[in-house]
Amino acid sequence: MSVLKGLRFSSFFGEIGVDVTGANRAKTMVALQYNRTSQLEAVAPSSVATSLAVIPAPTWDERVDDDGWYDTAGEIVITTIASILIVLTFATTLFVAVNHKNPVISAASPPFLILILLSSCFLYSTTIVWQLYATDASCAILPWLFGIGWTLFFGCMVLRTW
């Protein structure tokens, strides 16, 4: 620290001047902090401060998290659409399995059709998992669902058309 004391120079960020306490006295730096409504507010220096600094920051147990599961209209709509698509996909899979001897369905390779349909269920389910609370389980399952769904979906399509 003794090397920095008395240091003064110009930089990309402006004038830098370190005093004996180690503080930059040549340029006033603005300290910003997020408030409870996720808005940025200046908390220092006092000449530009719009609110008081929250020091120390509350512990994780003291913080307020009022987000619920599927508590916005957008989350409810997306989850409803994904759920309807999953049900329709299972119904289509059942239809293909039952009518696999039909000449039209037989020409479309029923095993590939069923794998493509089931893999799309994996992909639809990622939108549901994505909206859950961030836990170790939900964070771990999301890339697996997406990876398996994507690989099966496009792998079957490529093999079918090759």
* DSSP per-residue string spanning 48-86: T-SS---SSPPPTTTS-----TT-SHHHHHHHHHHHHHH
The two beta strands, 31-34 and 14-17, are: unpaired
Task: Please state whether the predicted TM-score (pTM) of the whole model is above 0.95.
Answer: no
Residue type at 6? G
Residue scoring higher pLDDT (66 or 151): 151
Condensed to tens digits (0 to 9), the pLDDT of residues 120-129 reads 999 999 998 8
Condensed to tens digits (0 to 9), the pLDDT of residues 26-51 reads 777 788 888 878 888 988 887 888 88
